[in-house]
Chain A
Amino acid sequence: MAFLEIDGLRKRFGQVEILKGINLELEKGGFLVLVGPSGCGKSTLLNTIAGLETITSGDIRVDGRTITDLHPSKRDIAMVFQSYALYPNMTVAGNISFGMEMRGVPADQRQKAIDKVAKVLQIGHLLNRKPSQLSGGQRQRVAMGRALVRDPKLFLFDEPLSNLDAKLRVDMRIEIKRLHATTGTTIVYVTHDQIEAMTLATKIAVMRDGEVQQFGTPAEIYNNPSNVFVADFMGSPAMNLIPATIGGNGGDLAVVLDREARQPITLPMANAPAGLSAFKGKPVIFGVRPEALTDPEGAERNASQIATADCHIEVVEPAGSDTFAVTNLGGKGVVARLRADANIQPGTNTPLAFNLTKAVFFDPATESRIR
C-alpha cells in the first residue's frame, strides 16, 4: 500500500471541472512532482491535498488514513508557498514556531525545535530578524524551516523556487534535493519548470486540463512519453515532433521525411513498435529528441539502430557545452544537438545521425503513442 494515495479525485467550481478524476500514489520517502502548464490544475490538486480547497468527490489517504474531510491543521502536513507566506509582523523564530504555538507546545520545546531547524538550514543568525530584512534565498530557507520544524508526514511545495533568480534557483534546487535525501521525507512538489521536475522527482505526474497525462519515473516520462503533449512539454530543448509517413517494402518499415525541394529522407526501421505496421502508407508524428539527432562521430556508439542522412543546416547555435543545429524536415524546424566542437556551417549539407532506438511515434489523429 502506498504512503500517499489519491483516488478518483474530482473538483468542480460551479459548472467547470478543474480536476477530472485524478489517481496517483506515492511510496514513503518519495518525491512526487506535479508539472504542467499554468491552469492545468496542479496547484489546485496540491491545495486539495493540503485541505485548503474542498473536493467534489474522491479520496485522499496518507499512511492509510483518509484525510479528505480533515481541517488542514489536522492532516499532519506542512506546506511551503510560492510567495513563502512569511508572517511580516513576526521574527524568523516567531514564524517558525507559530504552528507549535497554535498547537500549545511549551516554550522550551519550541526553542529546542527552532534551534534544531536553524542548524539544519543555517539560519541561526537570522532568528531575530523580520522577513522584510531577509533576501529572497533567506526567506526561502525560513519558509522551509517553518515546514521542517513540524516534522510532518507529508511536505507540500507550491512552486517554491519560481520567485528566485536563475542562479539561486539552481542552488536551492540542489539544497531541496539534499534535504530530501538526508531527511527521507515524503514530498509533493508543484512546478511548471520541467527541469525542476526531472532533477528532483522520483515520480512525475504531467498534467493538462485537470487530467494526469502521464504518471511515472522521470526516465519513463522522458524516454517513453505516452502522448504528444508529454513529449513536447518535457525536455529542453523540446523533442522534435516531425510529420512523417511510414513506408517500406513487405515486412520492413521505414520512416519517410519530406524535405523542401529535395528527395525525401528514408530511414529504415529494424525494431519498429508493433503498432506501427498498421500505419504503413499513413502519416505519423515522428518524435526524436535533439540529443538523438547528432553528428555521426558524436552518435551513441552502442545504439543498435543509427541511420544517417544528409541534412541542410539552416542555423547553428553554439551554446558552449553543445552546439545546436537547426534543419528543416517535414516542413518543420528540427533541432539537432551536436558536440561543442563539431565542425558545422550554416547553409551547408551535413550528414546527421538519427538514433532510431530512441525514436517514438504518435498517431496524428489522437496524438497518443503508437506502441
Chain B
Amino acid sequence: MSAVATPARPSSGGMNVKLVNRIVIYGLLALFALFYLMPLFVMLVTSFKTMDEIQNGNMLSLPKAPTFAPWLKAWGETCVGLTCAGIKGYFWNSIKMVVPAVLISTMLGALNGYVLTKWRFRGATLVFGLMLFACFIPFQSVLLPMATILGSLGRFGVTLQNTFGTSFGLGNPTVNLVFVHVVYGIGFTTLFFRNYYEAFPTELVKAAQVDGASFFQIFRRIMLPNSMPIFVVTVIYQFTNIWNDFLFASAYAGTGDAMPMTVALNNVVNTSTGVVEYNVNMAAAMIAALPTLLVYVLAGRYFVRGLMAGAVKG
C-alpha cells in the first residue's frame, strides 16, 4: 500500500493549488448566488410575517409565526387604487390578455417561419430582415403612434357597435393589449421559427407535396408536430415578456377594469393610505411572479434543448 501512496506525495503541492482554486471558484459562485437570491428570500420571508414582526424585527430573520394572511389579503382584499377587492381580478385580466397574445403571436411566427424557409419567394430575405428590425424597436418610441392607431380602432369599434350591435372587441383594452403584443411579438417569434425551420429538412415538405398535402396540411401535419422544442422556447419567451410588460399595460390599460397584473401591483404598492403593508405588497409581488416561474418549471427542460436545437443537427 505504501508503495502505491509514495508516488502521490510529490504532487500534493499541486493538489493544494487545485483545492484552493476550487474553493475560490465555488466560494465566488456561492456569493453571487446569495446576492442574486437575497431579494427573493427577503420577499418570501416578509410575505409570511405579521406587520408587528416586520416593524420590530430583522429583515432577514425567518418568520416566528408564519401566516398566510398577507397572501389571502393580497389576493382578495387589498386596495388597488380606490377599489379594495384584492388583485385576483387583475390576475385574471393578465391571463385573459397573455394566453391569446402568446398563442396568436406564436402561431403567426411559426407560419412566417414556414413560409420564409419552405416557400421562399422573391425578396424573402428582405422581408425577414425587416421583421428582424421589429426586434430592435424601442417600445417607448411607438407609444404615441400606437395610441393613435388604437384610438382609431376604438372609434371604428363604436361605429360597428352602432351598425351591427357588436364592436367585435375593437376598443376593448384587453383586445388592444393582445393586438399590441402580437404585433411586437411577431418579430421575435418569426426569428425563432425561421431559424429552426431553416435546419428542418426540406425533403419532408417535398415528400408531403408529392403525397398531395396542401399548404396548411403540411404546416399542421408535418411542421408543427416536429416543432415542439422551438414551440416551447417561443411560448416561454413570449409568456414571460407579455406577462411582465408594464409599459404597454400602463399606457393602454392603465386605469379601469382591464388593468393587467403588473399595473395593479404598482398601484397596490403606491396606495398611500395608512400604513404601508410590506407583507401584503411582497405577497402580491410573489403572486405576480408565480405564473412565469410555473411556465418555466413546467417547460424549462425543453427551453434549453430548444435553444440548442439547430446548432448541431443530431
A residues apposed to B, CB below 8 Å: 47, 50-52, 71-73, 77-79, 81-83, 85, 87-89, 98-99, 102-103, 146
A78→B212 contact, CB < 8 A? no
In Å, the complex CA distance between A169 and B237 comes to 46
Which of the 9-residue segments B35-43, B148-156, B160-168, B198-206 touches chain A? Answer: B198-206
Indicate if B225 sits at the interface (CB-CB under 8 A). yes
B209→A85 contact, CB < 8 A? no
Task: With CB as the reference atom, state the residue of chain B lying closest to A71.
Answer: B209
B217→A72 contact, CB < 8 A? no
- CB contacts (< 8 Å) of B203 on chain A: these are 81-83, 85
A102→B212 contact, CB < 8 A? yes
A73→B212 contact, CB < 8 A? yes
In Å, the complex CA distance between A81 and B207 comes to 8
In Å, the complex CA distance between A51 and B211 comes to 12
A78→B213 contact, CB < 8 A? no
- CB contacts (< 8 Å) of B213 on chain A: these are 73, 98, 102
Indicate if B210 sits at the interface (CB-CB under 8 A). yes
In Å, the complex CA distance between A98 and B204 comes to 12
In Å, the complex CA distance between A52 and B225 comes to 23
Mask, B23-36, CB within 8 Å of A = 1, is 00000000000000
- CB contacts (< 8 Å) of A50 on chain B: these are 206, 210
Q: Is the interface of B mostly helix, strand, loop or mixed?
A: helix
Indicate if B208 sits at the interface (CB-CB under 8 A). yes
A144 to chain B, nearest CB (A): 13
A253 to chain B, nearest CB (A): 54
A72→B201 contact, CB < 8 A? no
B212→A87 contact, CB < 8 A? no
A79→B226 contact, CB < 8 A? no
In Å, the complex CA distance between A64 and B201 comes to 34
Task: With CB as the reference atom, state the residue of chain A lying closest to B203.
Answer: A85
- Known A87-B208, A88-B226; 14 more pairs at CB < 8 Å: A50-B210, A52-B206, A72-B209, A72-B212, A73-B212, A77-B210, A78-B210, A79-B206, A85-B201, A87-B204, A87-B226, A89-B226, A98-B213, A102-B212
Determine which of B204, B211, B225, B226 lies in contact with A99 in the assembled complex, contact meaning CB atoms within 8 Å: B211
In Å, the complex CA distance between A261 and B225 comes to 71
- CB contacts (< 8 Å) of A103 on chain B: these are 212
Indicate if B298 sits at the interface (CB-CB under 8 A). no
Task: With CB as the reference atom, state the residue of chain B lying closest to A78.
Answer: B210
A243 to chain B, nearest CB (A): 44
In Å, the complex CA distance between A272 and B303 comes to 74
In Å, the complex CA distance between A179 and B208 comes to 24
In Å, the complex CA distance between A43 and B212 comes to 21
| CB proximity to A under 8 Å, residues B198-240 | 201, 203-204, 206-213, 217, 221-222, 225-226
